[in-house]
Structures are given as structure tokens and as C-alpha cells.
């Protein structure tokens, strides 16, 4: 089997899948929590769960630091987050989720769970594992520095 033309490469399928999933997720999230993006939702949950600096969280969700700054800013404006500077190292940022933010998270959790369930419906554990392994191989291939 060949995957030679632009629109028949698996890379193209990966784009298609992630876009379809993002669309589904955003639609379902918007029904319950208006005015939050899936990126913000994921980042909000991670900040609540992990005690990390802004850059560490950015790395975790594959976001550029510049993007992260702006995403955080929007959530500060909406008062989902509070930002303080680390006393030990004033370059660093401490982020914490407000009560308001925590309420949002509680609303988001079941939707996110449901989104994943819908997306992965009828996909066996074996297939998930295969998918995971192949994707990891591709990711590693792409990360080889020259």
C-alpha cells in the first residue's frame, strides 16, 4: 500500500481525526460551559491537578510559552485562575484555580469523559495500544534533531 499524494498520507488522517475530535469536544463543552475553549478547559484541569510553573504546563500540553501566556491571561480575566510569583524564584509563576474555576472544572469533567468515550467508542484496548505505540514512533521520528 502506498501513501504518496498529500491527501492520502496518514499524516493527513491524523489531522482529520484531531480536528473532528476537537470539534466534537468544543461543541459539547460549549453546551454546558459557554465561553471556554477546549484548550482552556484542559489547561484549567491540569493546573488544578499539578503544581507546576507556567512553562512546565505549557510543555505538558504541547503549547508554546507565548500561547500559554495568552491563554492564562484570558482565564485570569475570567477569574478562573489566580497568578502569583514564586517567592523563591521571582521569574517563576504560581497558578491556582479559584472557587469559580473549580466549579467550572466540575462541570467540565463529565463532558470531557463523555467526549473521550464517544470518540473511542468500539475501539478495543488492543487497538488503543497499537495506536498509542505507532503514534509514539512517529513522534520520536519527528523529534530527531539534525
Partner DNA sequence: CACATTTATTTGATATATCAATTATTTTTA
Partner DNA sequence: TAAAAATAATTGATATATCAAATAAATGTG
In the complex, the smallest distance separating the C-beta of residue 24 from DNA, rounded to whole angstroms, is: 10
48 sits near DNA (criterion: CB under 7 A): no
Residue 138 CA to chain centroid, in angstroms? 19
27-46 residues in contact with DNA (CB under 7 A) are: 27, 37, 39-40
Taking the CA atoms of 65, 74, 19 and 5 in sequence, report the sign of the dihedral they define: negative
In whole angstroms, how far apart are CA 134 and each of 56, 73, 129? 26, 36, 9
- Measured distance between the N- and C-terminal CA atoms of the chain, rounded to whole angstroms: 29
Nearest to 84 by CA among 67, 70, 72, 66: 72
CA-based nearest residue to 29, from 19, 18, 14, 40: 40
Instruction: From the list a second copy, DNA, none, pick the one residue 135 interacts with, judged by a Cβ distance below 5 to 8 Å according to partner type.
Output: a second copy
Residue 126 CB, nearest distance to DNA (Å)? Answer: 30
Q: List the one residue from 46, 56, 60, 112 that touches DNA (CB under 7 A).
A: 56
Angle at 57 between CA 54 and CA 61, to 5 degrees: 140
Angle among Cα 11, 14, 19 to the nearest 5 degrees reads 130
- 90: contact with DNA by CB under 7 A: yes
Q: Could you say which of DNA, a second copy, none residue 3 binds, taking C-beta under 5 to 8 angstroms by partner kind?
A: a second copy
Contact set with DNA (CB under 7 A):
19, 22-23, 26-27, 37, 39-40, 53-56, 63-74, 83, 88-93
Contact set with a second copy (CB under 8 A):
1, 3, 5-7, 9-11, 13-21, 23-24, 42, 45-46, 49, 60-62, 112, 116, 118-123, 125, 127-132, 134-139, 141-144
Amino acid at each position: 500500500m502506498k501513501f504518496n499524494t498529500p491527501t492520502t498520507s496518514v499524516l493527513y488522517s491524523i489531522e482529520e481525526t484531531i480536528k473532528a475530535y476537537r470539534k466534537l469536544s468544543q461543541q459539547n463543552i460549549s453546551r454546558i460551559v459557554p465561553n471556554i475553549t477546549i484548550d482552556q478547559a484542559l489547561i484549567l484541569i491540569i493546573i488544578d491537578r499539578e503544581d507546576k510553573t507556567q512553562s512546565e504546563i505549557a510543555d505538558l500540553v504541547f503549547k508554546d510559552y507565548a500561547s500559554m501566556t495568552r491563554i492564562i491571561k484570558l482565564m485570569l480575566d475570567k477569574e478562573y485562575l489566580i497568578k502569583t510569583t514564586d517567592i523563591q524564584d521571582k521569574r517563576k509563576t504560581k497558578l491556582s484555580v479559584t472557587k469559580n474555576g473549580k466549579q467550572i472544572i466540575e462541570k467540565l469533567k463529565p463532558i470531557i469523559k463523555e467526549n473521550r468515550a464517544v470518540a473511542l467508542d468500539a475501539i478495543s484496548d488492543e487497538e488503543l495500544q497499537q495506536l498509542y505505540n505507532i503514534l509514539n514512533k512517529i513522534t520520536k521520528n519527528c523529534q530527531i534533531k539534525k
